[in-house]
Amino acid sequence: MRTINKLIFLIIVVLSVSCEKNDKEPFPNIKDGFGIVINDSIVYNYTQIDFYDFSSHLVYLKDGNTFSYSKEGTFRVFANKSEIYTGKILSMSSSTIGDKPIIECEPSFFNDYIIAISFFQITDSTGKFLNNDPRGDSRIIEALKKYNQYFKGLSCTIDTINFISNTNATVSLVLTNNDNVNYYYLDPEKMGNNLFHYFTNGLYTFDNNNYGFNYFFNKDSVERPKPYISSWDKNWLSLLKSKESTKITISYNNFKPLSKGTYNMFFDFPGLSWVEKKTLQQENGRIWLGNLHMEKKITIK
């Protein structure tokens, strides 16, 4: 009888310990707000995060916190303890794309106070998205708002694309500041087209006949900053005040002619990337970092 009682007691103890293990939170530092876990070991929670710019999905870290990771792996994104999505940590040289969000490990285009979460949107020949971007989940936004860490950043749309001739065109963009802070942005009028197109491919389309992209800017004429991409000049920048919009017009000439038909036109509006944190905040506003992708369908008659 005693043997049976001991056995029952041991079973109860084992079950109790097992339940405690199951109830234990896997990431106790993710208690509230927004958080990122790197390889199930390194945690960035709301106490270490300064703010999240949703326009380019850049997570800015507070002073004393850095992101410097050299190994590929995985990451998890949390909002108020709930896991929202998982992604991969890849090097810039990796040929893997996949359908998950990506954080680039060292080296990165951004300084170590930023965690950049990118996502490759896959489309078919009609421009229809074949995979969903999980980064914009409303639960993430709500978690960030709890600690005033949510920023919409800048948005940009293609207003018009006018073909002056078969080899000359102008594109008009509308750039909008959606936040309550002022932003400095790269201004092609101040920089000049050659330098501006070092940071972007500009206007382009997919050429179905040649199975490749058709870029409207002559990349051979691109002007490289000196000494490198980390170099920048405040004279390149213009200030866009809170809640205001501005129109930007860029002219293209001598590109490969497009035959008659309907095209999906693309434009990537660039920001600076490698900016030291101490110079990020200027006298009248913050330098905007990142990249904005736009699309517009046109018909060549």
Query: pLDDT (tens digit, 9 = 90+) per residue, 243-287?
Result: 999 999 999 987 777 888 888 899 999 999 889 999 999 999 999
pLDDT band at 126 (very low <50, low <70, confident <90, very high): low
Pair type for strands 150-151 and 49-53: parallel
Instruction: Please tell me which residue, 9 or 272, carries the higher pLDDT value.
Output: 272
Distance CA(25)–CA(100), nearest Å, equals 25
Query: pLDDT (tens digit, 9 = 90+) per residue, 189-227?
Result: 999 999 999 999 999 887 665 556 778 887 777 888 876
**Mean residue pLDDT across the chain:** 85
Q: Is the dihedral of CA 70, 75, 80, 85 positive or negative?
A: positive
Instruction: Show the CA angle centred on residue 105, arms to residues 85 and 51, nearest 5°.
Output: 60
Nearest to 202 by CA among 275, 294, 129, 299: 294
